[in-house]
Structure 1
Amino acid sequence: METQLEPNSKASRARPVESHFWVSSYPFFEASLFVASDPASQAQQSTQLYLYDCDGAPVNEVEVNFPAGQLGIVELDQFLGQCKLEAGLKHAHLHVVSEAGGKHMLRIHGGSSACMLGPAQEVSQLRSCFFPVLLANERNALVTLVNYGRSDSLVRCRMYVGKRVPEVRINVPALGSRVLSIPAEFSEYAKPDGNKKQPTYLRLSSTCEVPCGAQLIETISPEKEGTIFSAVS
């Protein structure tokens, strides 16, 4: 989610831009944050990074400054050392705040593969989000969640595969993060026969007042090739 008013609004000229991302570190992948400042600004732009571990504990707070009109890049792995392991991964919730007019993107990379992600999609009482997923032996889909608020939030993940609609529920700690492996959580439904590929989609919703952010990251491992990253946000 990226929060910003319309460019022509007077309030938008003063209101900060906020974005939320799920981030992980080596050996799964490394992440770089891209910060684009307002092209109309003539002053140095300030950006604050707030990092919380998977259980919502603060692990780092960083302020970075970039010259006006230039693209800033922040390598995040150096700030994730104190994060806990959860679901076999060291991961965190990244909250980014920039001055009005800024934009944020995340680049995840590992080995010879990389992809770009926008801010997380919001999941709340008023908003559901949908992700397309292709089930195949060489693909592994991960739904990543970050909690924007200071109380726990329950997210429902429903998979539509053929005429079946299985569902799991994930509790996301306040300010924390969670990762959901689709093949593991939906093991009864997410195993295509042989080399067949099964198109499906996921619906994420919540009845909690506290909003969460969701992103979909897929790892694809073709034969005789390295891992390829694909993402939807």
Structure 2
Amino acid sequence: MIQNPMLRRDEGIIIDKGHICLLDQLMRISPQIKPHVQEMAMKLALELKDIASRIAESSLVILGFLLLLFNYRLFSRFNFDEYQVLNLFEFVAHHKEAVELFQTFGFVDKISDFVENLITKQRYIGAVRFICAFKLADKFHLVNLLLRQHLEYTKQKVVARDVEIASLGDILECISDYSLESQDLVNEIRARIFVLEQEKQKENIVDIASSSTSQDRVQKPQEKKRSYEAVLANNSKHPRIDVPSSSS
């Protein structure tokens, strides 16, 4: 499904959440992989690695890449050291699939330092996910603070409206996944999403109106031309006959 040409774009293969779900299920099934299938997966992994190196913050591509490495037993074929793999995990920590994969890779003993790095780099949602998933009692008191910091960070950072909405959705998903008691924060986030959606809707209406006006401006000269051509065509079918004057 990932190799389907219909899913390709100018920048290469696009990985979406549906693909991540499939790869996550494959990790749970852990089937026997035949050599020719492994080679196909290797080609795909190389393409994903190339895309990830060219597109900043391409978290789904990186997560797909990591899942491919594990599912198809490809890790040994890449010259990654432990630091490089942990660095890749920092980019995908806010995805719930990353938590189990992190454990499967055998990095549990690195969890404390990993969370500290996430907090330092302002990857607050990822930090909250790993704190809750690994029950880090010494850091659990930070959970609500980190969620609120992520909300404020998102507001201050200049990002596209859709990006902010998606980021706010990540907070709500994280709160729901770990049954966190943050109702005030939930209400605040929902109110913010409502405002952003309203702004987006108004902007779309303005764009449609502007596009319609521009189209009218283009069409009017064309309509005049068509009318003129129609007159000429009509005249050619029925040529004018000059009536002689009485004096002649």
Q: TM-score, length-normalised on structure 2?
A: 0.24
Larger radius of gyration: 2
Q: More helix by proportion, 1 or 2? A: 2
User: Counting strand residues as a fraction of each chain, which structure ranks higher?
Assistant: 1
Higher relative contact order (CA 8 A, sep 6+): 1
TM-score by length of 1: 0.25
